[in-house]
Amino acid sequence: MGEEEPFLEKIRGEALAGAVPIIRDETAALLRLFLLLKRPKRVLELGAAVGYSALFMAGFLPEGGRILTVESCPRRAEEARANIAGSPFSDRIDLFEGDAGELLSSLSERGEKFPFIFLDAAKAQYPVWLPTLLRLLTEGGILLSDNVLLDGEIAKSRFEIPRRDRTIHRRMRDYLFSITHSRKLRTAVLPVGDGLSVSLRCPEAAEPASPPIRAGVSPSLGKREGEDGGGRAPGEGMREAEGQLYLQRGRDRERGKGRE
């Protein structure tokens, strides 16, 4: 990042001191990688907070690239606006203050398209926004969704989750099910930071989605509540999958010996 690093470190330090959630270092590293690989001219971010992630991404855009970022909290939007205005990237970032759902609907009605979308806003809204996000995402575009593992809580039965958090827990499970089973997406869920899903937008005529492969995530997470009987212990799906893989490898070895 060069000369802008101290500026970002200042914003990062202030955010952490004020308990403002910002992207974790490992998440930032993957963001940087995908931006350098994709080289998108347009980026849509949902969840600006104090502007740290937008400013971080702006440093890796190609010439002429722009970011549209959204923040619903007036106090944080004000901080983000000040941080962006005082940065080397003020000409690359447009900040929208208001409801993300309303903005998404407006963008969709105008036929806007984005090759890169970073979703890091209200977790309960992820499945609500997904249909519109798919309309906004270009074919071959990338949708990165942060915090999808909910600090590991997503792997637990809903009966282990405090009642106040069950709606978010259920909706995030619905979101994970949707993005890993959609014919329009190819998705991997990575145990990076608080969980990061990476979805590639496929052509409308894509083949049916293959069973999702999710690194470090139990196969049972793709099931909606109640589909597994509701009584499975946490991690049981993963243990079953590991057992099946072990048995298959044993059978493969035996067949290999028979051919010798």
Q: What is the pLDDT of residues 147-186, one digit of tens each?
A: 898 766 676 676 767 776 677 778 888 999 999 999 999 9
On the question of pLDDT at 230 being above 50, the answer is no
| Cβ contact 111:86 at 8 Å | no
Q: Which tokens in the block code for residue 234?
A: 């946490």
Who wins on pLDDT, 55 or 165? 55
Rounded Cα distance, 192 and 211, in Å? 21
Q: Average pLDDT, stretch 223-235?
A: 42
pLDDT band, residue 217 (cuts 50/70/90)? very low
pLDDT band, residue 73 (cuts 50/70/90)? very high
- Look up residue 188 and give its amino acid: A
Is the pTM higher than 0.85? Answer: no
- Of 75-79, 104-108, 200-204, 236-240, where does mean pLDDT reach its minimum? 236-240
pLDDT band, residue 216 (cuts 50/70/90)? very low
Fold of 2-213: Rossmann fold (3.40.50)
Rounded Cα distance, 156 and 169, in Å? 9
Rounded Cα distance, 114 and 135, in Å? 9
| Cβ contact 157:230 at 8 Å | yes
Q: What pLDDT is recorded for position 233? A: 39
Q: What pLDDT is recorded for position 203? A: 82
Q: Is the dihedral of CA 210, 211, 212, 213 positive or negative?
A: negative
On the question of pLDDT at 218 being above 50, the answer is no
List Cβ neighbours of 167 (8 Å cut-off, separation of 6 or more): 124
> 70-94: b or e for each residue (b if 16 or more CB lie within 10 Å)?
bbbeeebbebbbebbeebebeebbe
Total Cβ atoms within 10 A of residue 37: 9
Q: Average pLDDT, stretch 37-65?
A: 95
On the question of pLDDT at 49 being above 50, the answer is yes
